[in-house]
C-alpha cells in the first residue's frame, strides 16, 4: 500500500473518532518504519528520563545516554524496567532480524517500551525513540501514543568512504558512523587502498605506509615527483587505530567491510614495493603504464596473503572486499611470464587471468572462513567497453563470491543473480555520492529501488542490499564530504530499510526536516538548497 493511502485512511479514521488530525499525529522517523499504528493521546516522559536497557542487549550505558541526548534528553540509566520511563527489553519484538516493537502509552509505566529482536534491534529502538520524542518546553518529551513494529528490508545498508584519494582520519570516520546509526545503516565499507594512497598499517611491509601513504589524489595535479610531499608525516591508520574504529562501529551495530584492491588501482603499493608491479620490457612504458600487480609472482602471493591475514584478524566482518574493478591489462599483455602462465593454464584472455587470480584469493580467504566481495568486474563480464578491458572471461567466478554491482547494464547484475550469486546493488547512476546533485538529486537517490522488477521474488532474495559510495577524488575536506553526503545519505538509508510500498518522497522530505536541523547544528549540513537540481559547487 502506498503511504498516501495510509495517510488518507488515517485522516478518515481521525475525522470519524475525534482523534487529532493526521498532520498532528504523524510519527516522524527516518527511515520510515514498517508498521505504525497511531492511537489517541500523548505519551510523555520527563526531560531527564529513567532508562532501562536489558543487559542482554550489551549496550554500554554511556552510549545509550549519548544517543538519547542527541534528542535533548538527559537520561539516567536504571537497573529495573519497572522503575523506568523508557524500557528496552530483549524478546520477540517484530519477529525479524534487527527489528523491534515500540509501544508508547499514556498513563502507563513505562511510557515508552521497546522489545528488541536482537542487539541491533535494541540499538535501532533507541534511535527511533530519540527521533520521535519532542520537547513540550514544559519539562517533558512527548509523542503520539502508538505502536511501531519495525524491521529492515535489507540486511546490507552501507555507506562507503574512500580514504585512499583523500585521507580524513579517525574523528571524521567516527562522526560518519554516528550518522549511520542515526539512520540504521549497518555496513561501513572502507575503501582503504587505491592508487593515490595506502592507508592501513601492514606488519612486515612498512613501506606500504612509510611510502605508500604519503600521497593522495592531489598528486595527479602536482606531478609524480611530488608523491612524497603531500602528506610528509603520515596519512594512514595504525592497526591499533583500526581496532578502535572497529570497536566504535561495533558499538553502533555497524560491520566494517575493508577493501583491499586487486589486481589494479595499486600505484601506492607498487611504488612502495616495485617488485609487486608487473614489469614490461620498454623502460618508458614501465614507468607510464597503469599499475597492475604481477599476480603470478611468489612475491605478490606472499604480500597479498600477509596483508589479507592481518586484515582478516583486524576486521571481524568475515567478508573482505577485494576491489577487482577497472583493471587495465596493458602490463599483462606485454609481460612474457604472464602470457606463458596463461598458455600453461588455458587462460585465453586477460579477464580470465584476473578471474584466476581472484578465485585463488577467494580460496585463501575461504580457508579462514571469510567471504570475498568485489565490484562487478569480478563476474568476468564485459562491464566496460574500452579496449583492453572489455572482454568476457571464460573462467567462472567462485560461487561463494558476492558481487557488488556498480557499472554496466543492469542486465549484468541480473545475470549474476540468475547464476546464483549474492549481490549488493550499488548502481553508480543511483548511488554514487561523488556525483553532483544535478546528476543525482536527492529525489533520484530516494527513488532507487535495489530490487529488479523483472526478477522473481526468489531471485530478488539474492540481493543483500545496497550501498552508497563516497568516492574521494573531489572531496579533500570534511566540508566537501558533508556537502556530498548530507542529505542524500538519508535517502539511501531509507532505500535500504523501508519497503517500497511505504516509501513516499514528499513524506520523506517532511520527515528529514528535524534530522537536517541536527546536522545543521553540528555544522555538517552545509545549508545548500538540498532539494534543488543542478547544484554542482560546494560552499567555499
Ligand atoms: C568503481 O567506481 N571503480 C568501483
The residue nearest atom 3 of ligand 1, judged by CA position, is: 325
Give the Å distances, CA to CA, from 507 to 26, 29, 139, 157, 438: 10, 10, 29, 21, 22
Instruction: Specify whether the CB–CB gap between 235 and 197 falls below 8 A.
Output: yes
Instruction: Specify whether the CB–CB gap between 75 and 48 falls below 8 A.
Output: yes
Tell me the average pLDDT across 78-96: 97
Q: How many CB atoms within 10 Å of residue 368?
A: 12
pLDDT in tens, 339-351: 999 999 999 999 9
Least reliable range by pLDDT among 79-93, 318-332, 379-393, 477-491: 379-393
The C-alpha cell of 66 is what? 549519548
No. of helices (H) and no. of strands (E), the chain:
21, 18
Per-residue confidence (pLDDT) for residue 432, from 0 to 100: 97
Q: For residue 375, report the distance from its CA to the centre of ligand 1, in Å.
A: 7
pLDDT in tens, 103-160: 999 989 999 999 999 999 999 999 999 999 999 999 999 999 999 999 999 999 999 9
Tell me the average pLDDT across 77-96: 97
Per-residue confidence (pLDDT) for residue 339, from 0 to 100: 98
Q: For residue 67, report the distance from its CA to the centre of ligand 1, in Å.
A: 34
Taking the CA of residue 267 as centre, how many other CA atoms within 13 Å lie in the half-sphere pointing to its CB? 20
Per-residue confidence (pLDDT) for residue 383, from 0 to 100: 86
Alpha carbon 460 to its chain centroid, in Å, reads 20
Tell me the average pLDDT across 488-513: 96
Nearest ligand 1 atom to alpha carbon 375:
4
Nearest ligand 1 atom to alpha carbon 265:
3
The C-alpha cell of 173 is what? 570516520
Shortest CA distance to 531 belongs to which of 427, 428, 445, 421? 445
- pTM, 2 dp: 0.93
With bands split at pLDDT 50, 70 and 90, how would you rate the model's confidence at 393? Answer: confident
Probe residue for ligand 1, chosen from 375, 376, 425 as the CB with the greatest number of ligand atoms within 8 Å: 375
DSSP 8-state assignment for residue 229: G
Nearest ligand 1 atom to alpha carbon 428:
2
Residue 90 parent element (H or E): strand 86-90
Using left for φ > 0, alpha for ψ between -120 and 50, and beta otherwise, residue 302 falls in: alpha
Residue 25 parent element (H or E): helix 22-25
Q: For residue 116, report the distance from its CA to the centre of ligand 1, in Å.
A: 37
Probe residue for ligand 1, chosen from 428, 467, 470, 473 as the CB with the greatest number of ligand atoms within 8 Å: 428
Q: For residue 222, report the distance from its CA to the centre of ligand 1, in Å.
A: 23
Alpha carbon 67 to its chain centroid, in Å, reads 20
Mean pLDDT of the chain, nearest integer: 91
The C-alpha cell of 174 is what? 567516527
Q: How many CB atoms within 10 Å of residue 139?
A: 10
Give the Å distances, CA to CA, from 454 to 228, 417, 499: 50, 12, 17
Res. 462: pLDDT tops 70: yes
Taking the CA of residue 161 as centre, how many other CA atoms within 13 Å lie in the half-sphere pointing to its CB? 25
Per-residue confidence (pLDDT) for residue 25, from 0 to 100: 60
Q: For residue 312, report the distance from its CA to the centre of ligand 1, in Å.
A: 23
Tell me the average pLDDT across 49-63: 98
Tell me the average pLDDT across 487-495: 97
Q: For residue 164, report the distance from its CA to the centre of ligand 1, in Å.
A: 13
Shortest CA distance to 265 belongs to which of 212, 228, 312? 212
With bands split at pLDDT 50, 70 and 90, how would you rate the model's confidence at 200? Answer: very high
Q: What are phi and psi of 405, to 5 degrees?
A: -75, 125
Nearest ligand 1 atom to alpha carbon 323:
4
Q: What are phi and psi of 292, to 5 degrees?
A: -155, 125
With bands split at pLDDT 50, 70 and 90, how would you rate the model's confidence at 385? Answer: low
The residue nearest atom 2 of ligand 1, judged by CA position, is: 406
* CA–CA gap between residue 538 and residue 479 (Å, rounded): 8
User: In 3-state terms, what secondary structure has residue 463?
Assistant: strand
H helix runs in 371-450, sequence order: 410-418, 428-431, 442-447
Q: Pocket residues for ligand 1 (CB within 6 Å)?
A: 325-326, 375, 406
Evaluate the omega torsion of the peptide bond into residue 110 and state whether it is cis, within 30 degrees of 0.
yes
Q: For residue 270, report the distance from its CA to the centre of ligand 1, in Å.
A: 20
Nearest ligand 1 atom to alpha carbon 432:
2
Per-residue confidence (pLDDT) for residue 220, from 0 to 100: 72
Q: For residue 500, report the distance from its CA to the centre of ligand 1, in Å.
A: 27
With bands split at pLDDT 50, 70 and 90, how would you rate the model's confidence at 197? Answer: very high
Q: For residue 520, report the distance from its CA to the centre of ligand 1, in Å.
A: 30
Name residue 403's beta-bridge partners.
374, 423
pLDDT in tens, 404-427: 999 999 999 999 999 999 999 999
**Cell 519539562 belongs to which residue?**
139
Amino acid at each position: 500500500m502506498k503511504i498516501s493511502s495510509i495517510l488518507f485512511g488515517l485522516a478518515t479514521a481521525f475525522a470519524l473518532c475525534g482523534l487529532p488530525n493526521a498532520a498532528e499525529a504523524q510519527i516522524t522517523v527516518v527511515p520510515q518504519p514498517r508498521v505504525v499504528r497511531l492511537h489517541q493521546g500523548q505519551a510523555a516522559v520527563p526531560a531527564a528520563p529513567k532508562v532501562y536497557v536489558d543487559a542482554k542487549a550489551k549496550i554500554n550505558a554511556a552510549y545509550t545516554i549519548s544517543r538519547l541526548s542527541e534528542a535533548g534528553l538527559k537520561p539516567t540509566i536504571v537497573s529495573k524496567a519497572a522503575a523506568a520511563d523508557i524500557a528496552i527489553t530483549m524478546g520477540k519484538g517484530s519477529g525479524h532480524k534487527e527489528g523491534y516493537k515500540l509501544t508508547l502509552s499514556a498513563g502507563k509505566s513505562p511510557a515508552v517500551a521497546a522489545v528488541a529482536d536482537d542487539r541491533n534491534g535494541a540499538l535501532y529502538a533507541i534511535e527511533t525513540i530519540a527521533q520521535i520524542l519532542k520537547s513540550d518546553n514544559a519539562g517533558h518529551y512527548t509523542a503520539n501514543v502508538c505502536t511501531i513494529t519495525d524491521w529492515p528490508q535489507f540486511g546490507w545498508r552501507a555507506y562507503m568512504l574512500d580514504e585512499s584519494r583523500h585521507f580524513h582520519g579517525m574523528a571524521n570516520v567516527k562522526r560518519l558512523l554516528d550518522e549511520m546509526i542515526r539512520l540504521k545503516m549497518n555496513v561501513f565499507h572502507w575503501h582503504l587502498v587505491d592508487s593515490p594512497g595506502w592507508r592501513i598499517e601492514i606488519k612486515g611491509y612498512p613501506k606500504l605506509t612509510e611510502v605508500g601513504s604519503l600521497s593522495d589524489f592531489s598528486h595527479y595535479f602536482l606531478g609524480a615527483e611530488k608523491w612524497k610531499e603531500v602528506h610528509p608525516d603520515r596519512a594512514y591508520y595504525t592497526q591499533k587505530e583500526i581496532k578502535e574504529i572497529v570497536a566504535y562501529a561495533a558499538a553502533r551495530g555497524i560491520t566494517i567491510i575493508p577493501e583491499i584492491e586487486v589486481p589494479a588501482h595499486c600505484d601506492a603499493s607498487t611504488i612502495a614495493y616495485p617488485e609487486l608491479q608487473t614489469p614490461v620490457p620498454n623502460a618508458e612504458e614501465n614507468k607510464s603504464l597503469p599499475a597492475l600487480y604481477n599476480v603470478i609472482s611468489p612475491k605478490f602471493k606472499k604480500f597479498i596473503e600477509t596483508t589479507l591475514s592481518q586484515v582478516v584478524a583486524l576486521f571481524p566482518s568475515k567478508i573482505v572486499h577485494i576491489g577487482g574493478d577497472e583493471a587495465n591489462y596493458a602490463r599483462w599483455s606485454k609481460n612474457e611470464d604472464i602470457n606463458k602462465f596463461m598458455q600453461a593454464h588455458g587462460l585465453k584472455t586477460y579477464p580470465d587471468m584476473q578471474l584466476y587470480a581472484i578465485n585463488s584469493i577467494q580460496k585463501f580467504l575461504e580457508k579462514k572462513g571469510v567471504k570475498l566481495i568485489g565490484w562487478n568486474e569480478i563476474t568476468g563480464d564485459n562491464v566496460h567497453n574500452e579496449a583492453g578491458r572489455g572482454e568476457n572471461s571464460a573462467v567462472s567466478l567462485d560461487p561463494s563470491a558476492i558481487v557488488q554491482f556498480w557499472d554496466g547494464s543492469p542486465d549484468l547484475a541480473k545475470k549474476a543473480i540468475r547464476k546464483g550469486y549474492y549481490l549488493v546493488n550499488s548502481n553508480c547512476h543511483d548511488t554514487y555520492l561523488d556525483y553532483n546533485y544535478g546528476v543525482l538529486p536527492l529525489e533520484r537517490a530516494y527513488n532507487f529501488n535495489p530490487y529488479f522488477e523483472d526478477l522473481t521474488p526468489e531471485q530478488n532474495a539474492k540481493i543483500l542490499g545496497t550501498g552508497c559510495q563516497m568516492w574521494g577524488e573531489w572531496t579533500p575536506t570534511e566540508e566537501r564530504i558533508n556537502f556530498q553526503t548530507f542529505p542524500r545519505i538519508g535517502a539511501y538509508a531509507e532505500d535500504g530499510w523501508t519497503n517500497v510500498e511505504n516509501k513516499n518522497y514528499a513524506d520523506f522530505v517532511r520527515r528529514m526536516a528535524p534530522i537536517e536541523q541536527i546536522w545543521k547544528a553540528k555544522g555538517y549540513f552545509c545549508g545548500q538548497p538540498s532539494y534543488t537540481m543542478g547544484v554542482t559547487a560546494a560552499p567555499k
